[in-house]
Amino acid sequence: MHTSRLRRAQDALFRSAGGDVYLAAADREGFDRLSGSAATAWMLLDEGPTFAELVRELASLHDATAEEIEPEIRSLLDELVRRGWVWESA
């Protein structure tokens, strides 16, 4: 995950409202909601960052160190990958 590029799944449909991001896909019902730093992370994924770049950007935005937030971001990305919203590419 450290060197590969992280990208939003091409089939992800999404909207933001009130700082939250809502996700939908054609092959399932319902919506997923990302709030707070998870919503910010989703916006940054538009650029296709590496994991390290994403952590660095989020740390800078939240006035924290990379070490402090890395476990949370890793956990968020694992969940996003598991649910099919994020792809990793070389």
Residues that bind another protein (CB under 8 A): 9-18, 20, 22, 24-26, 31
Closest contact distance (angstroms) between CB of 22 and another protein is 6
Quick one: 14 or 37, whose CB is closer to another protein?
Answer: 14
CA atoms of 72 and 25, how far apart (whole Å): 25
CA atoms of 45 and 88, how far apart (whole Å): 11
Closest contact distance (angstroms) between CB of 45 and another protein is 15
Quick one: 55 or 80, whose CB is closer to another protein?
Answer: 80
Provide DSSP, 28-66: S-S-EEE-HHHHHHHHHGGG--BHHHHHHHHHHHTT--H
Quick one: 6 or 55, whose CB is closer to another protein?
Answer: 6
